[in-house]
Amino acid sequence: MINKFKIETIVNDKKYTKIIEPRLLASDFIRDNLNLTGTHVGCEHGVCGSCTIKIDGVTSRSCLKFAVQLHGKKVETVESLNSNPQKKLILKTFKKFHALQCGFCTPGFLITVDELIENEKFQSENEIRKALSGNLCRCTGYENIIKAVLELIKIRNKK
């Protein structure tokens, strides 16, 4: 008999109360229980970055977290970028520079970039590459992603 747990969490500014099994992964909880399918599951080992979400403002791999670890936390998924005009700029800039390609890795990149733009002061393209090295992409060669991030940094620095 598996014990079930009640969790309360805020995901994309919406409060959820759910009864879940303790072994349920955060990525599966987000996709299957909340029907927020923007968070992708790739390697299921925390390597590819496709499942990246923000927990209390800090990026985290949802495939390496259990859903019970989201209890009492504020979670942001890629869907949250649409509801905030400032964050929507990330989506527009990625589109402008064709940094989306097949789209599988895109949610992880977008959430990672959201945190980086808020918190990091990059001095070089190499620093951006290093900061994004935890997110894997097979389509773009990263060039257009880097261009998009450089543009976002320029916009941020003008404010």
Q: What is the pLDDT of residues 58-88, one digit of tens each?
A: 999 999 999 999 999 999 999 999 988 889 9
CATH 3.30.300.130 fits 5-77, yes or no: no
The correct answer on CATH 1.10.150.120 for the domain covering 80-158 is: yes
CA separation for the pair 107, 73 (Å, rounded) = 20
For the chain, which residues make up each domain, given as ranges? 5-77, 80-158
Q: Are 36 and 48 in contact (CB under 8 A)?
A: no
Tokens of 49: 């970055």
Q: Are 23 and 41 a contacting pair, CB within 8 Å?
A: no
What is the Cα–Cα distance from 70 to 105, expressed in whole angstroms? Answer: 23
Task: Give the contacts of 51 (CB within 8 A, at least 6 positions apart).
Answer: 27, 39, 40, 41, 42, 61, 62, 63, 107, 108
Residue for token pair 């964050």: 87
Model confidence pLDDT, tens digit, residues 92-136: 999 999 998 788 889 999 999 999 988 888 878 999 999 999 888
